[in-house]
Amino acid sequence: MRAGAGDAKPTAHAPRTAVAGISGFAGGELARLLLRHPKLDSTSPQFYSRAGETDGGKPGDLADLHPQLSAIRPESSKVFPFNWDRISDAGIELLYLATPHEQSREWVSNAIGRGIKVIDLSGAWRLQYPVNRNVYHFTDSDPQLAAKMQAEAIYGCPELHRDEIRTARLIANPGCYATSIILALAPLVQSGLVDLDCGIVCDAKSGVSGAGKAATSKTHFMYAADNLSAYSVFGHRHTGELLEQLNLTSDQIQFTPHLLPIPRGILSTIYLRFTRPVQSMDVTTIFREFYKYSPMVRLRDTPNLPNIQHVVRTNFCDLGFELSRDGKKLVVVSCLDNLLKGAAGQAVQNMNVMYGWEESEGLL
């Protein structure tokens, strides 16, 4: 459901924030955004590593993991081994989890039980239906507690769930591919004009950083450079997000991801048909009305379609489209930075909504 601007009021104080799992690409971007966030000037974010990521369990230095962040805020330069008692003693009120799916699945209930709100960047809590969640093969030690947490989790797409995010304790940050496609399709699907019997085709391409920091044979330079390859056809983990958030069936949408030989950025090209002929202005009106309260979505005027280079290192999602001459076929192009609007930037955007700040605070 689309959310409007609402009447949220700023909170009396900025929360004490922490990031667990700081070593990855998204963790580094999250640290950069929090260190420079104007609302967090009076509260120093804390950074925590997972087991084995610091030397002998001793505090490390943020600049060792992310040299580009050196000297931004020296008082926040330490990276501590993760410890729940240290988190509680520090008075942490909002915990970002940039951890593997299984780790987030295990840790969230502990955080919530300590009165700490969570924004989770993994896929642990994004999917409400077991048939979609099965792709992660989770084995919950306490299935009843996990089910309770799952029911409470809010899908952290502010453009769709702004009102629910404001009061949430657990935010499931969306996947990068899913964000690019959902933002492109949600206004059109909700308009009722899309011919779902004809199906929707989503051809999406991502830079190598979308695969995470750990190298694989597919992300090795000798494989990825000067190459373009499809992967996870009919089985990508973000497919369930599309089905649940757009209220579609697997027969109504096909999503195929590809690996681009660039560091970061996503371009999704989406093909669909309308049930009746429409005018280009009709499509423009649908998008502009849907996103009139959404500062992080920019609509490009036809025929100027989005490009990755226009969104990289920003938290914007750029949308553009071309309508066929008969007014029945539409191609939508959606671009975003997979590490920002597709991960860390969207997580900070969710924090802004939770605490009643301007949605773009610290992101422009």
Strand runs labelled E in 123-211: 154-155, 170-172, 200-206
45 upstream amide cis, omega within 30 of 0: no
Is the torsion defined by CA of 91, 94, 99, 102 positive or negative?
Answer: positive
Angle at CA of residue 84, ends 80 and 86, nearest 5°: 50
Half-sphere exposure of 212 (CA within 13 A, CB side): 15
Query: Helix (H, G, I), strand (E, B), or coil: what is residue 206?
Result: strand
In the residue annotation, 335 being an active-site residue is answered as no
Tell how far CA 277 is from the center of its chain.
34
Burial class (CB in 10 A: 0-12, 13-18, 19+), 197: exposed
Q: What CA–CA distance (Å, rounded) separates 27 from 216? A: 19
Strand-by-strand arrangement of the 78-81 sheet: 60-61, 78-81, 46-49, 17-20, 94-97, 117-120, 170-172, 154-155
Of 133, 136, 137, 85, residue with least CA distance to 111: 85
- DSSP one-letter string for 179-197: HHHHHHHHHHHHHT-B-TT
- Enter the tokens of residue 348: 């900070």
Q: What CA–CA distance (Å, rounded) separates 108 from 98? A: 12
Given 157, 176, 202, 335, the catalytic residue: 176
For residues 106 and 130, the answer to whether their CB atoms sit within 8 Å is no
For residues 312 and 337, the answer to whether their CB atoms sit within 8 Å is yes
* Catalytic site positions: 176
